[in-house]
Amino acid sequence: MDAYFAHSMIEKEDFEKMEQYILDHVPAEDFAAVRKNLKPTSIILEEATDKAYHEGAVLEHGCPVEIRKSLEPLEKRLPDVVGIGFAKCGTGTLQFLDCHPSVTMRSTEPKFYNSKNAFDIIQFDGEGTPEKYDYLKKIEITAGKDKQKFLKFSKTVLTVNPKKQYAGSAALDVAKAMKILNPKTKIIGIACDPIKRVYSQFAMKNRRTEFKTSDGMDEEAIHKCRACLNKDLNETIKDFTENAQRLLDNGGNSPGFDEYARALEPFVEQFGDENVLLLDGENLITQPNQEWARLLEFLGLNKESMKFYIDEEKGFPCLEKPVKYCLNGAKGTSRKIDVRQEYPEDTAIWRKSFSPKIKEMILFKKICNKIDEKCCQKLRDEKSSFSWAHEYACLDV
């Protein structure tokens, strides 16, 4: 066991305390297997390459300790559950799933379901040859350097591929490819208040610019960095607002960050609405146990098997059961700013711009059957999922 600590972020003394806590809270029927499998999670990268996104070391799995209840042989296989986005809506919280004894999830997912691989999979499936393809073997050929990231897991453990942005223009092909390889795949999306999402995205890009500048990157290189903010944060917000107003004036679409229904549609088409869960990213922060109960039930897991508490200092939820654990400090930093208070005139324009697409989301995922007084009364309840949608959907109701 001592060899594990050389490649983990946990000291032996701390692990022993965590071990005792976990074993004190694990169900009796899982005790022996969990105790046998329990070990610190290995570090795969000593320092994250993107400090704006991840602070400190990057672990092989989402949880700092490996809590597994299965003793069955391991095999290389595709994920049972795939997260399809959306950026800055709390997708990082899915890492907590790896702390569940029946789930395993990598911290960094292979970039496998891209447009090229999706096209190849669809092509393989359409060749009509009599023998049954070993698709996983085909995947390893096409996935290149990512093939090593498909690790071995027990058949009885749910595997989760987290937070990959599969909600782009090639989403339909991606959804078709997923269904070909694993028709029982479950899909998770996390939607959040688009006003907060916009600010969070700009703030992260601004942090990235600051980090790269402090690391010695020159102005020309910063300007070429697509993931960086190339101008002042306030100026960026002003430009975004002007674009939103221009689109409103011309009766056009919003400037983005709100197209949840459109992004989910290909996956609902392929897997059915019952296999596509849309979580409320705001409720994951304010009512974590309520929202996680929805997720665990969707995955066929005991709703009581994971519990959370709000860390007063962080202002964000931390895991309490089956192990006490908080996400790294880079998560949620921009959420501490009240963007509506800081930019009241800008966000008023954003709200009008986002309103139609949020109404579309509400109807598409059947949060309400129609936008009426009954729906608005439901959304007005702050303890309800998607209560943040009230100000977008009920402007004229």
Positions annotated as catalytic residues are 88
Q: Is 55 helix (H, G, I), strand (E, B) or coil?
A: coil
Strand duo 276-280 + 81-83: pairing: unpaired
Whether the CB-CB separation of 96 and 325 falls below 8 Å is answered with yes
**Looking up tokens 């944060």, which residue turns up?**
233
Provide the strand spans (E) within the chain.
39-40, 43-45, 58-59, 65-66, 74-76, 81-83, 103-105, 152-154, 158-161, 186-191, 276-280, 307-311, 316-321
In the chain, the N- to C-terminal Cα span, in Å, equals 62
Q: Do you know the residue count of the chain?
A: 397
Q: Is 191 helix (H, G, I), strand (E, B) or coil?
A: strand
Smallest CA-to-CA distance from 89 within 342, 349, 280 is with 280
d(CA 136, CA 208) in angstroms, rounded, equals: 36
d(CA 193, CA 386) in angstroms, rounded, equals: 9
Q: How many CB atoms lie within 10 A of CB 53?
A: 15
Question: DSSP secondary structure string, 94-114?
Answer: GGGGGGSTTEEEBSS----SS
CA angle 157, 332, 344 (to 5 degrees): 140
d(CA 310, CA 1) in angstroms, rounded, equals: 33
Smallest CA-to-CA distance from 197 within 277, 95, 284, 281 is with 281
d(CA 355, CA 245) in angstroms, rounded, equals: 13
d(CA 134, CA 127) in angstroms, rounded, equals: 13
Residue 169 known to bind ligand: no
Q: What letter would DSSP give residue 146?
A: G
**Looking up tokens 């060749």, which residue turns up?**
127
Smallest CA-to-CA distance from 305 within 64, 85, 69 is with 69
Question: What residues are designated binding site?
Answer: 200
Question: What residues are designated binding site for 3'-phosphoadenylyl sulfate?
Answer: 200
